[in-house]
């Protein structure tokens, strides 16, 4: 009788521990990033559509400024690059594309913008600036 009760308790404990572990893992998944966001500037609004909230997932970020780019969940953040062809005139008079990389944490909506001070022209410095999104829709 004692063995039966002990086995039942051990089995129940093991099942409960497994359920808590699975629930803990599910809670650790990043939050979905779908919605409409602003960085405090009402004239620059992003609409984000993603297909899942986990590593390797993809989606699209579209701005009311006319650009739309793919985004990918990597390292717990949504990463995307905004490219403006012929975005800058270099010192030698040639045009070069402007690349701006963005990374956003879907849980805190805090992000980092990374860009080169000369964009694609020689002689620039890489800079990073923090930003904070607000969900508006």
Q: Are 134 and 104 in contact (CB under 8 A)?
A: no
pLDDT in tens, 69-117: 999 999 999 999 998 887 888 888 888 888 899 999 999 999 999 988 7
pTM for the model stands at 0.71
Left, alpha or beta for 79 (phi > 0: left; psi -120 to 50: alpha)?
beta
Q: What number of CA atoms fall less than 13 Å from residue 36's CA on the CB side?
A: 8
Question: If 0-12 CB within 10 Å is exposed, 13-18 middle and 19+ buried, where does residue 16 land?
Answer: exposed
For the chain, how many residues are written? 137
Token digits of residue 14: 């093991």
């Amino acid at each position: 009788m004692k063995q039966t009760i002990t086995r039942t308790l051990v089995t129940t404990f093991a099942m409960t521990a497994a359920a808590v572990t699975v629930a803990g893992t599910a809670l650790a998944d990043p939050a979905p990033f779908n919605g409409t966001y602003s960085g405090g500037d009402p004239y620059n609004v992003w609409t984000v559509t993603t297909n899942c909230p986990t590593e390797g997932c993809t989606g699209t970020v579209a701005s009311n400024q006319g650009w739309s780019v793919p985004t990918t969940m990597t390292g717990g953040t949504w990463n995307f690059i905004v490219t403006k062809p012929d975005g800058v005139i270099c010192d030698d008079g040639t045009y070069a594309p402007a690349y701006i990389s963005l990374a956003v944490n879907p849980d805190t909506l805090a992000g980092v913008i990374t860009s080169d001070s000369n964009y694609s022209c020689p002689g620039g410095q890489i800079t990073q600036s923090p930003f904070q999104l607000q969900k508006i829709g």
